[in-house]
Amino acid sequence: MRRPTREIRIGEVAVGGNNPVVVQSMTNTDTRDTSATIEQINDLFRIGCELIRVAVPDLEAAEALTEIVKQSPIPVIADVHFDYRLAIKALENGAHGLRINPGNIGPRWKVEAVVKEARERKVPIRIGVNAGSLEREIRNQFAEATPEAMVESALRQVRVLEDMGFNLIKISLKSSNVMDTVRAYRLLSDTVDYPLHIGITEAGTLARGLIKSAMGIGILLAEGIGDTIRVSLTADPREEVWAAYEILRAAGRRSRGVELVSCPTCGRCEIPLQELAEEVDRELRAFEQPLKVAVMGCVVNGPGEARDADVGIAGGRGFGLLFKNGRVIAKVEENRMASALINAVRETAKRRETVEDDTASNADSEGRAQ
């Protein structure tokens, strides 16, 4: 069951409350290069990114936000460290959200100056605690970057914002240690009802980072914790968005795009299943329709899994049986299996879109008639 949190709005995106968990990523372009940054934001938007964070390391980057915000199809969050004046400039230039780090933003009066500007513009602030950059007083008190230390860092900053009557708050507590991160979020979730942004920071390269992120984010989602997520990877940001939706699907929180089921192969497999599955996966990643697609290699589990999917194929020696909605619709030669399966998925997706459009149109007509 989802833990209850307050609802805030970042631009037009509702976060927390009863809203779906929101998928976020971060650009890795030079923010001062507005063309490259806007191009990457559009690429991420097309595959489902709903909030985007950009680094604001200097005044030139803060000034670039004016054009980036204007052209971005999704809300833009400014990521600011060290210089509170950059946070104020980012707000002046239209940022929809702000991320500040208690460990380096400076003394209370600097935070208050930022909060004053955010309050006037009704822009949410994420208090983004990172185990690697806790403030000196916290390090002195706890000696190590424990979960309790991260929570205390966040709560101190929360109190500053609350003292100023500001409650458009989102919080994150990130560590590269999965279980420390999980424990920190559990403690915080029991203490406050602000929406939480979850993730494992500095998770690593693609394969390693996916494992750590799926473990940490998956545990938290299963416990009902988390209102926005980012899968932090040393990889193309598009991989972050794709991974976020796969984790959400596995946790039963959201379903977007194709769920691909494929067997691990064994000595019974008589087709090049790995190549087939990888080709199908590449071709279907851009799909938005929540379809289940099976690519199976032999007669043991293949027919059953393929029948259970919206579209599937079960391989034999030199051929495959193509299934749609539980029925065999064709026997396909091995060299045509990928194209036949992909075409069947496209047809199924198109048919569903037509049905959904007709249903929406009929509902709209009935509403006007009443």
The residue range of the domain holding 316 is: 259-355
Mean pLDDT of 321-335: 91
Band of residue 265 on the pLDDT scale cut at 50, 70, 90? confident
294 shares a domain with 228: no
* CA–CA distance, 159 with 319 (Å, rounded to integer): 65
Is 1 a domain residue? no
200 shares a domain with 87: yes
Percent of the chain with pLDDT over 90: 75
* CA–CA distance, 51 with 292 (Å, rounded to integer): 26
Is 34 a domain residue? yes
Percent of the chain with pLDDT over 70: 96
* Per-residue pLDDT tens digits for 173-182: 999 999 999 9
Band of residue 361 on the pLDDT scale cut at 50, 70, 90? low
Mean pLDDT of 253-275: 89
For 200, list phi and psi in degrees, rounded to 5: -110, 115
Is 364 a domain residue? no
Q: Which residue has the higher pLDDT, 340 or 106?
A: 340
Q: What pLDDT is stored for residue 301 in this prediction?
A: 75
Q: What pLDDT is stored for residue 300 in this prediction?
A: 76
Q: What pLDDT is stored for residue 364 in this prediction?
A: 59
From 194, 225, 250, the end of a domain falls on 250
Q: What pLDDT is stored for residue 369 in this prediction?
A: 57
231 shares a domain with 279: no
* CA–CA distance, 91 with 125 (Å, rounded to integer): 11
From 201, 233, 250, the end of a domain falls on 250
Is 163 a domain residue? yes
- Signed CA dihedral, 175, 179, 184, 185: sign only: positive
335 shares a domain with 274: yes
pLDDT, the chain, mean = 92
The answer on pLDDT for 359 being more than 70 is no
Is 312 a domain residue? yes
Compute CA 263 distance to the chain's CA centroid, rounded to the nearest angstrom: 26
Mean pLDDT of 265-279: 89
Q: What is the CATH number of the domain that holds 146?
A: 3.20.20.20
Helix (H, G, I), strand (E, B) or coil at 34: helix
221 shares a domain with 106: yes
271 shares a domain with 149: no
96 shares a domain with 72: yes
Tokens representing residue 261 in the block: 């089921």
Query: Which DSSP state fits 197?
Result: E
Residues forming beta bridges with residue 169, ordered by sequence position: 125
Tokens representing residue 39 in the block: 């191009």
* CA–CA distance, 302 with 294 (Å, rounded to integer): 8
Is 124 a domain residue? yes
Q: What pLDDT is stored for residue 367 in this prediction?
A: 59
Q: What pLDDT is stored for residue 302 in this prediction?
A: 76
The answer on pLDDT for 363 being more than 70 is no
201 shares a domain with 55: yes
Q: How far is CA 39 from CA 10, 25, 27, 35, in A?
A: 21, 14, 10, 6
Q: What pLDDT is stored for residue 97 in this prediction?
A: 98
Is 311 a domain residue? yes
Q: What pLDDT is stored for residue 102 in this prediction?
A: 83
282 shares a domain with 246: no
Helix (H, G, I), strand (E, B) or coil at 142: helix
Band of residue 263 on the pLDDT scale cut at 50, 70, 90? confident
Helix (H, G, I), strand (E, B) or coil at 263: coil
From 233, 250, 267, the end of a domain falls on 250
238 shares a domain with 129: yes
131 shares a domain with 83: yes
For 72, list phi and psi in degrees, rounded to 5: -70, 135
* Per-residue pLDDT tens digits for 281-305: 999 988 888 999 999 887 777 777 7
Q: What pLDDT is stored for residue 368 in this prediction?
A: 58
Band of residue 355 on the pLDDT scale cut at 50, 70, 90? low
Is 132 a domain residue? yes
Q: How many domains does the chain have?
A: 2
The answer on pLDDT for 356 being more than 90 is no
Q: What is the CATH number of the domain that holds 338?
A: 3.30.413.10
* Per-residue pLDDT tens digits for 29-50: 999 999 999 999 999 999 999 9
Highest mean predicted confidence (pLDDT) among 201-210, 233-242, 288-297:
233-242
